[in-house]
Structure 1
Amino acid sequence: MATINLAPAMARDARAAARPRRQRAPIGRRLRRNATAYLFLAGAVLCFAVFSWYPMIREVIMSFQYTNFAGSTRWVGLNNYRHVLADPDFWSAWRTTGLFTLFALVFGYAVPFFTAVVVNELRHARSYFRLLVYLPVMMPPVAAAFLWRWFYTPDDTGLFNALLRALHLPSVQWLQSSHLLAVLCLVLFSTWINMGGTVLIYLAALQGIPGDLYEAAELDGAGIMRRLWHVTVPQTRLVLSLMLLLQIIGTMQVFLEPYIITGASNDTTTVVYLIYQYAFNFNNYGSASALGVVLLLVLVGFAGGYLWLGRRLGEEE
């Protein structure tokens, strides 16, 4: 008959009993010890509550109300949502926003990454090129938008048409000729002014890649494109996926470009610009809030689906 050796268990229990029990500090002492941390945390929570959470809650409430410029309100239920969905400008604004987002993925997402790869490969004047790439971010966005509005001036006084004239090419009606070209012009400005911060993030990710991986790829005979595809992209996949999510969410909230550069002419009204029109041009804050809630739900749904898909793909790998 087998015997069970209880000596190890008894010794372990004896050591646990002999070990002095650690007493938890009173709540007051713990609060005083962490008072500085709680103070900083309270400031952050207060800022979020005042400038983020309260406006969001207020927007949801106003979407079920009729509110005019005088401040008088009355409950109208889902009438604001019905009005927004029945407005032809609603679907036109979504088409323009989707087109802007699509072009932004082609230019605003790819160009900063390849720019970061080129700057990272430089052996001389790397800091100078970093500053040169980041310089547009330091410009006031409104001033930069007016500058590019002058670039796109349809007559020969605009910079781009002046360059075409110097090359003996015909002038182009950049913002007036077609809807597609107008949206593309807005995307080019958005890419130019926003790429600086994105390039720095990509540079930080690229500098974290071990050099041994590139050396091994070179020994295997891999060229520049193969090293980029098989080493650089896999090693920066997390940063690329995060920036893709932020890129789509940011471009779907575009407002400055159509407001200043085109004035929403040539049917370049985006969803956020339509919200502005509802509130300040049509004096209909309820419909503006309803459209804002619709945009919020679309972005939350997209972000949730994107994160779920990324988690599923990560589990399969």
Structure 2
Amino acid sequence: MIPRVEQLSRKYDRTLGYVLIIPVAFVIFVVIGFPFLNSIYLSFSDKVVGVEPKFVGLDNYIYIFSDREYWKVLKNTFIYMISSVSIKLAVGLILAVVVNEAFFGRGIFRMILLIPWALSGMVAAITWRWMYDDTYGIINSMLLRWNVIDTPIPWTSGVHMALVSVIIVNIWKGLPFFIFSLLGGLQTIDSQMYEAATIDGAGWVRQFFAITIPSIMPVITITTLLSCIWTFNNFESVYLITGGGPLNASAVISTYTYEVAFQQNLLGRALAVAGSVVPILVVMIVISMRKLKADD
């Protein structure tokens, strides 16, 4: 039986914890919660700049769900997210295993891998846009010089290449996050597990799938979840490189929302576009949290 003094102490600590959380919770609600709730309300209105909103019910949602452009943009968003995150995970895991080994110049190599993550997103996007330029871009110039292509590739203006271009940039920019997150997980694995597996005759492939992957699965799960959310909501790279064009070929939900809100001046409909993907993000988070609990 727990002594009464200890019970009072625990009750006091719990109460103190709640009291200390109140200011933080209030700030979070003011900064995030209230704007979010207000956005949900405005998504059911015909809000435009300079005019008081009028409640229109589900009209905005009915319109966007019947709009082909919306479904095209949503498809682009999933292609963008799934392709980028999958490649970042696969390549990041390989490079994490490589830089976890001891070799000459490992520190310098790690520093070089970290550069894309350290660069400003705007600087990186503008640099890549210049590199993609049909006439003056270094990428087409090198490919033409090496006789890999006969004509310049329309990286940012081609209907079939624009989305590929922004996916490449997202992979380059986000790869260090996967590398160093997974590297941290790899460094927590007990080396004795590999020694025991080697004695039992397990090769490196079997050790990788039987020891390495299961050991860092919680890190893989949370890293993938965060990257999915960031990639799904990415605006900066897409907008600065292609602007979502041509003909929304590279548009994602974030750039499409911006276009509807500030170019078409339909704030209510734009908020409906943004609100329509909230359930998708919630489902992603719930699935990942369940996966984390299962791994534990």
TM-score, length basis structure 2 = 0.87
Inter-CA distance 65–93: structure 2 relative to 1 (3 Å threshold): same
Inter-CA distance 200–71: structure 2 relative to 1 (3 Å threshold): farther
**Equivalences for 1:208-227 in 2 at 5 Å?**
208-227=188-207
Corresponding position: 1:122 with 2:102: yes
Corresponding position: 1:277 with 2:259: yes
Query: Contact (CA 8 Å) 1:109, 1:247: kept in 2 or not?
Result: no
Give 1:313 deviation, angstroms. Answer: 6.0
| Distance in 1, Cα, partners of 2:208 & 2:118 | 30
Inter-CA distance 88–135: structure 2 relative to 1 (3 Å threshold): same
Aligned to 1:300: 282
| Distance in 1, Cα, partners of 2:233 & 2:141 | 32
Alignment equivalent of 2:268, drawn from 286, 300, 313:
286
Corresponding position: 1:22 with 2:1: no
Aligned partner letter, 2:89: Y
How many pairs are equivalent? 290
Aligned to 2:145: 166
**Equivalences for 1:71-82 in 2 at 5 Å?**
71-82=51-62
| Distance in 2, Cα, partners of 1:220 & 1:149 | 52
Bigger-Rg structure (1/2): 1
Deviation per CA, 1:165-199: give whole Å up to 9, x if none. 331222322233342x3222211111111222332
- List gaps (5 residues or longer) in structure 1: 1-15
Corresponding position: 1:264 with 2:247: no
Aligned to 1:151: 131
Give 1:71 deviation, angstroms. Answer: 4.0
Inter-CA distance 176–301: structure 2 relative to 1 (3 Å threshold): same
Aligned to 2:156: 175
Give 1:38 deviation, angstroms. Answer: 4.5
Backbone CA RMSD of aligned residues: 2.8
| Distance in 1, Cα, partners of 2:103 & 2:26 | 46
Aligned partner letter, 1:182: A
**Equivalences for 1:20-169 in 2 at 5 Å?**
22=5, 34=16, 38-39=19-20, 41-155=21-135, 157-169=136-148
Give 1:250 deviation, angstroms. Answer: 2.3
| Distance in 1, Cα, partners of 2:69 & 2:147 | 40
Deviation per CA, 1:80-113: give whole Å up to 9, x if none. 1112112221011011111112211331222222
| Distance in 2, Cα, partners of 1:92 & 1:313 | 35
Give 1:162 deviation, angstroms. Answer: 1.9
- List gaps (5 residues or longer) in structure 2: none
Query: Contact (CA 8 Å) 1:205, 1:236: kept in 2 or not?
Result: yes
Deviation per CA, 1:22-71: give whole Å up to 9, x if none. 39779xxx59x959x945x3443233112221121111111111211104
| Distance in 1, Cα, partners of 2:79 & 2:89 | 14
TM-score, length basis structure 1 = 0.82
Give the secondary-structure state (helix, strand or coil) at the position aligned to 2:54: strand
**Equivalences for 1:177-192 in 2 at 5 Å?**
177-179=158-160, 181-192=161-172
Deviation per CA, 1:217-267: give whole Å up to 9, x if none. 233343333322222111111111222222322222222222111111131
Aligned to 1:3: none
Give 1:133 deviation, angstroms. Answer: 1.5
Query: Contact (CA 8 Å) 2:88, 2:178: kept in 1 or not?
Result: no
Query: Contact (CA 8 Å) 1:107, 1:188: kept in 2 or not?
Result: no
Bigger Cα displacement from structure 2, 233-242 vs 118-127: 118-127
